[in-house]
Amino acid sequence: MGKNKYKLVASLTIIFIISLIIYGCGSGSQSTSGSLSLNAPKQQGQLTFNALATYTPASGSTMPGTAISYHWYVEQNGVKGAIVNDDDRVGVSTFTLSAVPTGTTFVCVYATFGGLTNSEGTLCTAYSAT
């Protein structure tokens, strides 16, 4: 029985090592080396803003369909509000103000993917009541 147990353990170990070589260690198939760019949020209606980020890996080819996280907040009269996260968004991220703001108001957004933050930093657009 001792020899069979040894053969079983050796076989399982070999299978495990081969699986690691073929399938990797679970770190994911997307590399986060490269760049992340973001357009300024655009006001689409009285209270709605849109933004779109693009991930370009180090290979240089833009990767459509990449799930990117957006982080929105409102800055009103110099006071920054709570961040609202729109995680793992593919395509355009939309943010809607909960009420018509008064005073000087900016809608701000930045994007993240893996360990990257968009190269432009946080982008803000002034609210317009039109």
**Count of structural domains, the chain:** 1
Place of tokens 């993917």: 113
Measure the CA–CA gap between 112 and 122, rounded to whole angstroms: 11
| Residue 14 clears pLDDT 70, i.e. is over it | no
Q: What is the pLDDT of residue 29?
A: 39
- The CA distances from residue 59 to 27, 53, 127, in Å, are 19, 18, 38
**CATH at residue 121:** 2.60.40.10
Domain ranges, residue 95: 34-126
Residue 78: predicted pLDDT: 87
**Is residue 94's pLDDT more than 90?**
yes
**Taking residues 89-97, what's their average pLDDT?**
92
Q: Over the stretch 16-51, which tens digit does the pLDDT of each residue have?
A: 566 545 444 433 334 567 889 999 889 887 899 999
pTM comes to: 0.70
Q: Where do we find the tokens 């996260």?
A: 85
Instruction: Evaluate whether residue 70 is within a structural domain.
Output: yes
